[in-house]
Amino acid sequence: MAERSDHENLTFKIGPDDVGVRLDAFLASQIEGWSRARLQRVIEAEDVLVNGKPSKPSYKLREHDELEVDLTLPATTSFTPEALPIEIVHEDDTLVVVNKPAGLVVHPAAGIHSGTLANALAYHFQQLPNASSVRPGIVHRLDRDTSGLLVVAKTESALEHLSDQFRDRSVYKSYVALVHGRVPSDSGRIEEPLARDRSNRTRMAVVRGGRSALSIYRVNLRFNRFTLLDVELKTGRTHQIRVHLAWLKHPVVGDETYGGGRDNTIQNPKLKSQIRSLGRQFLHAEKLAFAHPKTGERVLYQSPLPPELSNLLMEITE
């Protein structure tokens, strides 16, 4: 039995004793606290790779198969609610929509056990499902240095309802991204599959046979050396927008992981200094729409650009 870990990526190599076992059954026997039904949904969402490719729950394991499982598991340390401030965009008896600032981690992970949005949620909303866990009511997430909208369930039924919508890809998620260079097409689709970078496990990369991923972009504004994009996220892969736009050769401004040093090519000293002082990438979850779990009504929430990003745009246009 594998110990619970706060790492997001688990790997297994199949030995002779597990040959012929169903994939979902094997994972349920190895990952504590995850039911077989829940793991089936993870497999169907292509968050499990067998020898680098998505598979089915019914796949029968073969000797030497290599499994890669993309999960967020509960941390091994105790989880303590914390009185941290939260910007609430909307709240009712079923859910709460919050506006996450850049720099705030959504939930505890490797080496991060406090000061997260999850710690704050557990303090402010003690009735959240899984309130004592590291993911109280949380059904999706944003990168640490991405700001914007997150919906959090306040009841078990809402948690299940919202999770189903995210899994079925019926949730509308739109981001604002400032990228390097002038994107030539007014709009486009990026459908490149994603997986862990084999040479650097903290990064994601476009990998043939990886998880399917779809990002749809539209040009909002063009500048001399930059383009402001609206990006609709059709799937929710780790770092998806950042990796896709870097693959397009137009990395997100301020993205040190996938930017390839493009910020260093900026000639304007004041602008270069302002970008470096951001301490984040120019990526903001601006719009979020879904069917309300209680009423079934389609609801839309919006979040304006935070001051540090709107100020940077003003610097570019001057």
- What would the mean pLDDT of 136-158 be, rounded to a whole number? 90
- Domain with 253 in it: 173-287
Per-residue CA distances from 217 to 115, 183, 228, 279 (Å): 33, 10, 10, 24
Phi, psi of 302 (to 5 degrees): -135, 150
- 189: CATH: 3.30.2350.10
Beta strands in the chain (DSSP E): 9-13, 48-50, 53-54, 66-70, 88-91, 95-100, 147-153, 172-180, 187-190, 194-197, 200-206, 215-222, 226-233, 283-291, 298-302
* pLDDT the model gives residue 89: 97
- Count of the separate structural domains present in the chain: 3
Could you read off the pLDDT of 269-293 as tens digits, one per residue?
888 888 888 999 999 999 999 999 9
Asked whether residue 109 is assigned to any structural domain, the reply reads: yes
Closest CA to 42 of 9, 65, 21, 71: 71
> What is the rounded distance in angstroms from the CA atom of residue 75 to the CA atom of residue 14?
25
With a pLDDT cut of 70, the percent of the chain lying above it is 90
Domain end position, chosen among 126, 150, 167: 167
Strand, coil or helix: 197: strand
Of 304, 132, 138, the residue nearest 236 (C-alpha):
138
Task: Flag whether pLDDT at 135 surpasses 60.
Answer: no
Let me know whether 244 and 283 are in one domain: yes
CB 123 within 8 Å of CB 82: yes
Query: How distant is the alpha carbon of residue 58 from its chain centre?
Result: 27
Same domain, residue pair 272 and 197: yes
Tell me: do 184 and 203 sit in the same domain.
yes
Domain match, 205 and 277 both: yes
| 8 Å CB contact between 73 and 108 | no
- Per the annotation, the verdict on 143 as an active-site residue is yes
Residue 140 belongs to a domain? yes
The verdict on residue 231 lying in a domain is yes
Same domain for 148 and 134: yes
Q: What is the pLDDT of residue 77?
A: 42
pLDDT for the residue 209: 82
Tell me, yes or no, whether 189 and 152 share the same domain. no
- For the cut 90, the answer to whether the pLDDT of residue 304 exceeds it is yes
In a domain, 3, yes or no: no
The domain that holds 47 is classified in CATH as 3.10.290.10
In a domain, 79, yes or no: no
pLDDT at 72: 53
- For 143, residues 6+ apart whose C-beta sits below 8 A from its C-beta are 239, 242, 281, 283
What residues have CB less than 8 Å from 79, skipping those under 6 apart?
A: 108, 113, 118, 119, 122, 132, 133, 134
Amino acid, single-letter form, for residue 238: T
Judge whether residue 184 has pLDDT over 90.
yes
Q: Which of 111, 140, 167 is the last residue of a domain?
A: 167
The answer on 248 and 177 residing in a single domain is: yes
Residue 125 lies in a domain: yes
178 and 283 in a single domain? The answer is yes
User: Is residue 224 located within the same domain as residue 276?
Assistant: yes
* Exposed/middle/buried for residue 76 (C-beta within 10 Å: 0-12, 13-18, 19+): exposed
Model confidence at 126: pLDDT above 80: no
Instruction: Output the pLDDT for position 302.
Output: 98
Q: Is 147 in the same domain as 186? A: no
Q: Are 178 and 122 in a shared domain?
A: no
Instruction: Calculate the alpha carbon distances from 307 to 196, 303, 304, 312 in Å.
Output: 33, 12, 9, 8
Q: Are residues 100 and 135 in the same domain?
A: yes
Q: Give 3-state DSSP helix, strand, coil % of the chain, rounded to 5.
A: 25, 30, 45
**Model pTM greater than 0.85?**
no
**In this predicted structure, what is the pLDDT of residue 240?**
96
- Residue 208 falls inside a structural domain: yes
Given the residues 143, 145, 255, 263, the one annotated as active site: 143
pLDDT of residue 216: 98
Question: Does 202 reside within a domain?
Answer: yes
Angle (CA) 194-74-197 rounded to 5° is 20
- Residue 74 DSSP one-character state: P
Average pLDDT (94-123) is: 86
